[in-house]
């Protein structure tokens, strides 16, 4: 008893190679039994735990675990050495009309899309250049009918000071290397979107979970509504791009909330990446969320950065404080600019111009608190509809401008009706001939 032995392992084993060994026991020459053990050689995943968070990252865009759906390679996302809170975390990158490179669950929810290929495995440095622990890796996606040509450098920062001990920072530098290709393969992306997908399981089986977007501070969070003693988690996009957010009821089946229990296809991923701040909160159920940035211009040869903070706490107020701290820290250390422009408090028409209109197009500036479909109609003083200038168009949350073609009308006062997902707005303008 107490004896040990050493094995010489091959130096050229692939990353994440599962090595299986059979150990055979003898008593003298008599066979007693055997036992099998297995372990991962050259793991591409590491768990960072230099503060109150223990989080596993791999070398191709996953957070939490390396082997969805088995989820045995990694520790998930843990707060203060507690239970794991995360079932699945995955990077998604998309461009119109719906190409999405990603490592989230696939159309068959028991399978995983595997768009990214490791170029440089995750390396951990302790201490790091600016924080207590840092990670860095590179991976790439190649163009296909459903995927985007892009290289990703992922950097992770974990500080251990009192203000940041419940926060971890994840940075994605997107590199468009298609400038090195022949002209027919060069790609200039006018509208690229990047997002993180999280399926949180806070408490038993993820039941009674709830996710929501905080308009004022610009972060999403998830919590258990039935057990107040369980931790809450938050995610903020820290870069100066337009934010996107989609709260998912996992068992959902509608077009506006398709859910993920029946799989997660690329159309659904693209819709959630590119719809702005659309579905702001879930029901109380098993939930997921997508948070991200876009549209981003990424021309051949260019690089763009998208940074996130992921944090945990025991109540909403502590999450708000950590969101603010993470924006300040990101700016101080050059991780990101930390900017967030709060959404409008309500839907409203801000300006109609030129007013009066003599000829040409009319412009309307308006604010939306939540993304959705809009229509714009023109009426006369008798309440008669004269035209539908915008029939049905998706508009993201925030400040928007619409150019409107006005039919030939006589001098007089007219009314503009803007129909949104959450109500109807009216404005007036005059025609001067």
Residue 17 lies in a domain: no
Residue with tokens 């040869």: 301
Please state the rounded mean pLDDT for residues 88-95: 99
Please give the pLDDT value at position 183.
77
Residue 31 forms part of a structural domain: no
Q: Do 375 and 316 share a structural domain?
A: no
Is residue 354 located within the same domain as residue 312? no
Would you place residue 85 in the very low, low, confident or very high pLDDT band (cuts 50, 70, 90)? very high
Neighbours of 126 (CB within 10 A): 12
What per-residue confidence (pLDDT) applies to 22? 84
Q: By percentage, how much of the chain surpasses pLDDT 70?
A: 100
> Does the residue 185 lie in any domain?
yes
Kindly give, in sequence order, each residue whose CB lies less than 8 Å from that of residue 49, ignoring residues fewer than 6 positions away: 55, 133
In this structure, the answer to whether residues 265 and 378 fall within a common structural domain is no
301 and 364 both lie in a single domain: no
**Cβ contact 282:248 at 8 Å:** yes
407 vs 378: CA distance, rounded Å = 9
Residue 7 lies in a domain: no
Q: Which residues contact 75 (CB under 8 A, 6 or more apart)?
A: 47, 54, 55, 56, 84
Condensed to tens digits (0 to 9), the pLDDT of residues 347-387 reads 999 999 999 998 889 999 999 999 999 999 999 999 999 99
Answer whether residue 18 is part of any domain: no
Q: Where are the beta strands (DSSP E) in 209-302?
A: 209-214, 219-224, 232-237, 243-249, 287-298
Same domain flag for 425 and 277: no
Nearest to 383 by CA among 413, 410, 423, 425: 413
Counting the structural domains of the chain, the total is: 2
Span 211-240, pLDDT tens digits: 999 999 999 999 999 999 999 999 999 999
Q: How many residues does the chain have?
A: 433
**pLDDT value of position 5:** 72
> Does residue 170 sit in the same domain as residue 303?
yes
Question: What is the model's pLDDT at position 2?
Answer: 62
20 found inside a domain? no
Q: Record the pTM.
A: 0.90
Assess if residue 178 is contained within a domain.
yes
Q: Give the pLDDT band (50/70/90) at residue 414.
A: very high
CATH of the domain at 372: 2.60.40.1930
Question: Domain check: are 390 and 263 in the same one?
Answer: no
Task: Report yes or no on 10 lying in a domain.
Answer: no
Q: Are residue 142 and residue 170 in the same domain, yes or no?
A: yes
Distances (CA, A) of 41 to 15, 45, 66, 67, 159: 7, 11, 13, 14, 29
Average pLDDT, the chain: 95
Average pLDDT score over residue span 88-116: 98
Report the pLDDT value the prediction gives residue 275, as an integer from 0 to 100: 95
Q: How confident is the model at residue 139 (pLDDT cuts 50, 70, 90)?
A: very high
Choosing from 304, 333, 362, the residue where a domain stops is: 333
Token couple for 334: 């050059």
pLDDT of residue 314: 98
Residue 79 has pLDDT above 80, yes or no: yes
Q: Name the 3-class secondary structure at 235.
A: strand
- Domain carrying residue 167: 45-333
Task: Give the ranges where 228-358 is alpha helix by DSSP (H).
Answer: 266-274, 316-332
Together in a domain, 146 and 182: yes
Q: Cα separation of 79 and 313, whole Å?
A: 8
Domain finish residue from 333, 360, 392: 333
- Of residues 183 and 400, more confidently modeled: 400
Q: What is the reported pLDDT for 325?
A: 99
Q: What share of the chain is helix, strand, coil (3-state, %, to 5)?
A: 10, 50, 45
Q: 198 and 73 share a domain? A: yes
Does 345 have pLDDT greater than 60? yes
CATH (domain of 245): 2.70.98
Is residue 320 located within the same domain as residue 368? no
pLDDT at 196: 99
Domain limit, last residue, from 308, 333, 358: 333
**Is the pLDDT confidence value at 1 over 60?**
no
What is the pLDDT, as a whole number, of residue 24?
A: 87
Q: pLDDT per residue over 47-65, tens digit each?
A: 999 999 999 999 999 999 9
Statement to judge: residues 96 and 208 lie in one domain: yes
- The answer to whether the beta carbons of residues 73 and 85 sit under 8 Å apart is no
pLDDT number for residue 307: 99
Please, what is the Cα angle at 185 between 180 and 189, to 5 degrees? 90
């Amino acid at each position: 008893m107490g004896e040990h032995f050493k094995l010489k392992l091959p130096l050229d084993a692939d990353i994440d190679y599962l090595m299986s060994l059979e150990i055979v026991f003898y008593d003298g020459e008599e066979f007693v039994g055997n036992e099998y053990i297995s372990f991962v050689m050259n793991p591409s995943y590491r768990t960072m735990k230099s503060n109150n968070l223990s989080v596993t990252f791999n070398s191709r865009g996953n957070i939490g675990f390396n082997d969805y759906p088995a989820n045995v390679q990694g520790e998930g996302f843990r707060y203060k050495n507690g239970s794991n809170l995360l079932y699945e975390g995955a990077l998604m990158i998309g461009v119109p009309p719906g190409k999405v490179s990603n490592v989230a669950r696939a159309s068959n929810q028991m399978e995983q899309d595997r768009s990214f290929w490791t170029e440089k495995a995750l390396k951990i440095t302790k201490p790091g250049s600016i924080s207590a622990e840092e990670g860095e890796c590179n991976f790439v996606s190649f163009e296909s009918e459903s995927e985007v040509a892009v290289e990703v450098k992922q950097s992770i920062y974990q500080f251990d000071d009192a203000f940041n001990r419940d926060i971890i920072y994840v940075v994605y530098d997107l590199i468009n290397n298609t400038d090195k290709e022949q002209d027919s393969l060069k790609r200039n992306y006018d509208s690229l979107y990047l997002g993180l997908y999280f399926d949180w399981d806070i408490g038993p089986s993820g039941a009674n979970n709830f996710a929501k977007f905080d308009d004022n501070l610009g972060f999403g969070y998830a919590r258990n509504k039935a057990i107040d003693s369980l931790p809450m988690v938050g995610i903020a996009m820290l870069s100066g791009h337009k934010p996107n957010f989609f709260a998912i009821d996992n068992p959902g089946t509608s077009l506006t909330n398709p859910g993920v229990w029946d799989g997660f296809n690329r159309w659904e991923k693209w819709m959630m990446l590119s719809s702005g701040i659309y579905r702001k909160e879930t029901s109380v159920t098993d939930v997921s969320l997508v948070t991200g940035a876009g549209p981003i211009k990424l021309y051949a040869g260019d690089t763009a950065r998208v940074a996130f903070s992921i944090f945990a706490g025991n109540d909403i107020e502590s999450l708000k404080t950590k969101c603010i701290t993470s924006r300040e820290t990101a700016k101080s250390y050059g991780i990101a600019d930390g900017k967030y422009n709060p959404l409008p408090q309500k839907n409203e028409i801000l300006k109609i111009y030129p007013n009066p209109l003599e000829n040409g197009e009319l412009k309307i500036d308006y604010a939306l608190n939540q993304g959705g479909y809009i229509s714009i109609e023109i009426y006369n003083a008798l309440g008669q509809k004269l035209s539908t200038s915008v029939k049905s168009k998706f508009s993201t949350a925030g400040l928007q401008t619409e150019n409107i073609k006005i039919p030939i009308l006589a001098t007089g006062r007219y009314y503009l009706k803007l129909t949104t997902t959450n109500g109807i707005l009216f404005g007036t303008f005059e025609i001067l001939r």
